[in-house]
Amino acid sequence: MENNNYIQGLFGGIKTLMVGLKTTMREFFTKKITEQYPENRNELVMFDRFRGSLVMPHNEQNEHKCIACGICSMNCPNGTIEVKSKTIETEDGKKKKILDRYIYDQGICMYCMICVRVCPQDAISFDQSFENAVFDRSKLIKQLNQPGSKVQERKPVARPVAPKPATDSSNPQPTQS
């Protein structure tokens, strides 16, 4: 009786081993569709809505659109953004607040894109970079405005105007008689 259970267990184990080997051999000879990531890095295209890393675009003269209002920092749910500004005096004697440092901590960013949506100047956006692995977390803290960058003067953005409310229902429009 005990020998019978032993032999049944032995054949059951061999049977499951053969099923596993059959699956392994079938997959071994199928055509591979895996992309070779490090080698095809130049051909990789991320989808349009991908949020890689926060950037502050600069033009050819190293100017950016940020006016140091701090709205992005106030709306960031976990304090990823720190906007440091300073006040300068212009040629005509007026005081003006300008951006001193724009610090972005990518290590705690949730990539929620609230900061980009609330920016009134469209000064920040997400790019398509996805290789952000580092061994030291301090390398994830970035200053987005390069030292010596100037504020870019630009025209105000045309915002959509809210439709006017409907006429009062107690005053119907005059009818023609």
Domain housing 76: 54-151
User: Is the domain of 5 the same as that of 87?
Assistant: no
Q: What's the total number of domains in the chain?
A: 2
Predicted confidence at residue 101, as pLDDT, reads 92
User: Is the domain of 96 the same as that of 127?
Assistant: yes
User: Is the domain of 137 the same as that of 62?
Assistant: yes
The SS3 call for residue 120 is coil
Q: pLDDT digits over 78-114, tens only?
A: 999 999 999 999 888 899 999 999 999 999 999 999 9
Distances (CA, A) of 13 to 8, 99, 117: 9, 70, 60
Whether pTM exceeds 0.85:
no
